[in-house]
Every structure is written in C-alpha cells, then in structure tokens.
A and B are shown apart, each in its own frame.
Chain A
C-alpha cells in the first residue's frame, strides 16, 4: 500500500505536481485503494491497477480493479459528529478522498471499476474553490 502511494506521488511530481498537492494525492490514493480492498475485493484477493497521467493540464490518477461493482461516489457524506457519538466512522475515507482531490469520477467499464482522481498543477491554489 505504501509503495503504491509513493509510486503514484513520484510519478505525479514528475508531471509537475507541487509537493503540497502531492501530499494530498498520497492521501487520496491511500483512501481510494483501501476502499477498493474493502468493498470491491471484500471476498478475496484482487489486483489494483494504478496509472498516473496528464489529462487536460491536470494530473490524473486512475485506479482500476476487477472487483464487485462499487461506486465510491455514491456513498453518502458521513454525519461525522453522529458517527463519532455512535462510535463508528463509516464513509470517512471516501469523504477524505473526495476532499483531497480536485475532482473525482467513477465509471464501470465492462468488468472493471474505474476511479479517477484529478489534481490541478497550480501551486497554492485556494481550497475554497471546492
């Protein structure tokens, strides 16, 4: 898992992503990959394919798996205060993944889940655009 995240960050930095954005990318990839393991491959092992490319001036991380159909974007936003009072924190990882990336997209392609996480290359971009 650590290698997967570090590889993705390293490739993204080569494409011109800032260090600051790279830190966010690392977190988004960890959360995305953990969710693939937790939901798409709940019943066993499987592969996650990760690629990092530039698309329309953005650095895009693509996570593909062949597990059960699972769209992380369809998971409801967690009611965090309530979850914490009740002693659980479900949906948190997906919420963080969506918050760290500048854009997320999901589609089902044949037998695969394809998740794309997009990051702008601009340094010091304000967070309140999200």
Chain B
C-alpha cells in the first residue's frame, strides 16, 4: 500500500496504490493523518490504483472523511473499478461517497 500526494489548486490529491485491508489500514491511517494535518482542505482520493479493499479499508475511509470534515473540508473519491468498486456498491458506501470517474470530476463536487 502506497500513497502519492500532490497539491492542486484548491484541493489535494492522494492516490492510493495497492490494498486497503486488515493488514495495511494502520499504515494508511498513519500516512493520511499526517497528510491531512499538513494540508487541511478539500481532498480527492484517487483510487484508480486500488487493487483490493475489505471492510477494514471501508472503515478507514470513513474515519478519514470524518477527519477531513472536522477540519472544515470535504473528501471526494474517484477512479474505482473492478472488485473494489463492487465492494463499494454492495456495501452501500457509494451512497455516502459518490463515485467520480476522474480527479477533475471529483474536484468539481467541492
């Protein structure tokens, strides 16, 4: 699991690569905690590199969105495909986190 981060105009993008499962969520939460603290503001999570997500991963996204919200900003997701996308749909998480196709689309939702 890896996170690549960059600042854009008016928002940040965190591109998550690999797996968000029971084994990797702690590392993800540590990384994102630091990034959100240093870069408060709207956040786009680019999940096009996400290979696998389990309920542990879904819960960590929920926790992350609460942190972002607590700082007065919003979080949007984009790029999901394959089984991770199905996991979102099956779990109903797409109702709370609308799924965008691209970073640009996600940024428009802010």
Contact = CB atoms under 8 A, between A and B. Distances in A.
Nearest to B55: A93
A85 to B, nearest CB: 8
Interface residues of B, number: 20
B28 to A, nearest CB: 15
Which secondary structure dominates where chain B touches chain A? helix
Contact of B54 (A31, A81, A84): A31
B59 A30 contact: no
Contact of B96 (A24, A81, A96, A99): A81
Contact of B62 (A2, A89, A96): A89
Interface in A1-53: 1-2, 23-24, 26-27, 30-31, 34
B23 A95 contact: no
Which secondary structure dominates where chain A touches chain B? helix
Given A30-B22, A89-B62, A96-B55, 8 more contacts: A2-B21, A34-B56, A85-B96, A87-B62, A87-B66, A89-B58, A89-B59, A92-B59
17 contacts: A2-B21, A23-B83, A26-B52, A27-B52, A27-B54, A30-B21, A34-B56, A80-B96, A84-B62, A84-B93, A84-B96, A89-B58, A89-B59, A92-B91, A93-B54, A96-B87, A96-B90
Contacts of A127: 86
Nearest to B54: A30
A2 B23 contact: yes
Interface of B: 21-23, 52, 54-56, 58-59, 62, 66, 83, 86-87, 90-93, 95-96
Interface of A: 1-2, 23-24, 26-27, 30-31, 34, 80-81, 84-85, 87, 89, 92-93, 95-96, 99, 127
B104 to A, nearest CB: 26
